[in-house]
Amino acid sequence: MQYNIFRVKDEKGLLEEMKIKNYIKSNNEKKVDNYKLSLYYCKNDSSKISWQNILNEFNVDITIDKDNLKGILLISSDIDFYAVTYGMSSSLVQKYCDTDFAMNIAKRVEVSKIKRKAAKFLNGSTSSLVKTMSNANIIVLDRGESVVNLEIIPDESENLGKCIIIGKSLKLNLDKNIDNISEIISIIKNIENREDKRPIPLFVKVTDDDLKSRIWDSLNSEFMKNIKNINFSLDEMNVLGSSIYFDDNFRLELAYLNKKEEISILSTDIVRNFIEKNDIKIDKVLDYIKIKYISDSGNFVRSLKEVVTFDFSYENTNYVVYDGDIYYYNDDFYQNIKDGLRLIEFKPYDKVDDKSIVWYKNYLSENNLVDVKDNKSKKDEHKITYREKAINEVLSKKYQYDNLDRNLVNINKDLIYKIEIADLAKKDEIIYAVKVGSPRDFCYAIDQSNLTIDAFLSRTYDKDELIEEYKNVKYIGLWLYLKGKKKIHDQNNNIDVLQLDSIMFLNKLVDWANKVVSANYKPIVVINYYD
């Protein structure tokens, strides 16, 4: 008999939604040891279903179409509250469940074999990964991933059947009927009381509506304060899930109520200017500012909170906003990222390559240049540049790198998409993507590097000369200039990137390192400061 077991965290919320969804409580209740069993069902049409015997146990005299009948068996005692779902009830119950419950079993259960693992990377190019494991009794973890689902064969001594599927629920197939539910729960609770046998990194969505509401209120308030700060930066890496902007295929529009403005790219400055120009002072700005994507094939709209990704701390807990939802992550997830950072060679900090606003202003003056953001009259009289370009020019001359800044290559035959394979390069040795800013800004450099790796490995387009020229390098690197006062090197000039306290950036960095190594290159990172 199959049991899809959830531990319920919000009993009141679940019962209220079951009432709204027209779940009917059966007339009969069962008592099994210390547990009270109550069945709720939601019906439409009639035909036979596979779990008719459960209905019979509670004297529910009805036969209906299996696609239109949903059931929830609530199992409660003075200290426990579980739900077993039937039909299509899982999507309702999981909103009110303890999201750690099943994975805590996965950490502690004795395993004979891991059959399958499904995982996701929270911000990399890979959104999901399913691996079929062969004759393994350990869970193979990729650095920087969060486990979503496991299918395992438990050791016979556990008495949990031949196969367990673990996700938000615990799915068992046992030769035990409902009168044995107390025994089943006892087995589960005994496993929970053991020491961990293996790490299970989790990146878990917050489902508590009250907590989410309080967090969003805080984030909206902080956003309106921070957006006025010129040094504040949005994390735009999740916009469309890509770092390429398809200008020929669609247009972007920023909107608030009846106020609209077509934009070329979603950036911090553009959002800041839009808010100031339209005197927007609403409480829920992240909800009400919309980004509209317009193309010949159709349009779609996202709120600002659905397209920005950032991490933050609230009430001493670390959270991440991702795809418009709020997640927290466990210690195993953080440790997995720390382990992944060992793949990367961090070059010792060298103060001589630091740069500053003063340095940049002097550079502009000495070379008769103006910054790209300066006023139009100056641009008419002088050549324009920008920070990264100036840094690239200085570093390329100092270390004899090839300066590839803004040397774009086509990455498909239709010539629609173009990428910059590197900012700095030495043939057969190394390439660097260079970026100035915060950890959120550095994600652009990672995106650029990831696209370069794809281009180096791809065989689906006509090879570009630059790609052919530099694909045989040994190292693929990031040269990152950290803005602000924070320093992340020690007295021996060793870099500790964990001090950046940005789980999104660190995870993306590890994902990048995995990709570099998988492509048979070596990842290297240089950190300097831009004050």
Region 185-206 average pLDDT:
90
Task: Round to whole Å and give the CA distance between 281 and 264.
Answer: 24
- The pLDDT value recorded for residue 416 is 54
Per residue in 247-264, pLDDT tens?
Answer: 334 578 889 988 998 887
Question: Is pLDDT at 117 greater than 50 in this prediction?
Answer: yes
Write phi, then psi, for 142 (nearest 5 degrees): -80, 140
Q: What percent of the chain has pLDDT over 90?
A: 39
Q: Which residue has the higher pLDDT, 202 or 446?
A: 446
pLDDT of residue 146: 78
Confidence of residue 124 (pLDDT cuts 50, 70, 90): very low
Cβ-Cβ contacts under 8 Å for 276 (sequence gap 6 or more): none
Residue 369: predicted pLDDT: 87
Residues with Cβ within 8 Å of 456's Cβ and at least 6 positions away in sequence, in order, are 467, 471, 519
Report pLDDT for 202.
81
Question: How many other CB atoms are found less than 10 A from the CB of residue 420?
Answer: 16
In the prediction, which pLDDT does 375 show? 55
Sheet hosting strand 424-426, strand order edge to edge: 345-346, 522-530, 475-483, 430-437, 424-426, 402-403
- Is the pLDDT at 393 greater than 60? The verdict is yes
Separation CA 175–CA 51 (nearest Å): 14
Q: What is the pLDDT of residues 397-452, one digit of tens each?
A: 999 999 998 777 766 555 556 778 899 999 999 999 999 988 878 888 998 899 89
Using CA atoms, how far apart are residues 45 and 43, in angstroms rounded to an integer? 7
pLDDT tens-digit readout, 510-520: 989 999 999 99
Residues in the chain: 531
* Among 193-207, 233-247, 281-295, 356-370, the least confident range: 233-247
pLDDT at 241: 30
Q: How many alpha carbons lie under 13 Å from residue 226 in its C-beta half-sphere?
A: 13
- Rounded to whole angstroms, what are the CA distances from 62 to 40, 84, 365? 13, 20, 85
Query: What pLDDT score was predicted for residue 132?
Result: 46
Helix, coil or strand: residue 513: helix
**What CA–CA distance (Å, rounded) separates 43 from 380?**
73
pLDDT at 382: 64
Q: What is the pLDDT of residue 411?
A: 60
pLDDT at 91: 84
pLDDT at residue 189 in the model: 96
Mean pLDDT of 90-97: 88
Q: Crossing angle, helix 503-518 and helix 439-457, to 10 degrees?
A: 20
Does the structure show a pLDDT above 60 at 128?
Answer: no
Report the amino acid identity of residue 441: D
Residue 79 predicted with pLDDT over 70: yes
Per-residue pLDDT at 501 = 73
On the question of pLDDT at 395 being above 90, the answer is: yes
**For 71-76, what is the mean pLDDT?**
96
Pick 297 or 200 by higher pLDDT: 200
**pLDDT higher than 90, residue 523:** yes
Q: Which residue has the higher pLDDT, 322 or 88?
A: 88
- What is the per-residue pLDDT across 16-68, written as a single tens digit (0 to 9) for each? 999 999 999 999 999 999 999 999 998 755 455 667 778 788 888 765 554 56
pLDDT on residue 462: 56
CA 355 to centroid of chain Cα atoms? 32
What pLDDT is recorded for position 247?
A: 35
Q: Give the residue-averaged pLDDT of 378-402.
A: 85
pLDDT above 90: residue 72: yes
The Cα 369–Cα 379 span in angstroms is 9
Asked if 505 and 512 count as a contact pair (C-beta separation under 8 A), the reply is no
**pLDDT of 475 higher than 90:** yes
When pLDDT is cut at 50, 70 and 90, the band that residue 134 belongs to is: very low
Smallest CA-to-CA distance from 248 within 415, 434, 400, 65 is with 415
Residue 195 has φ and ψ, to the nearest 5°, of: -75, 155
Average pLDDT over residues 296-320: 76
Q: What is the pLDDT of residue 477?
A: 98
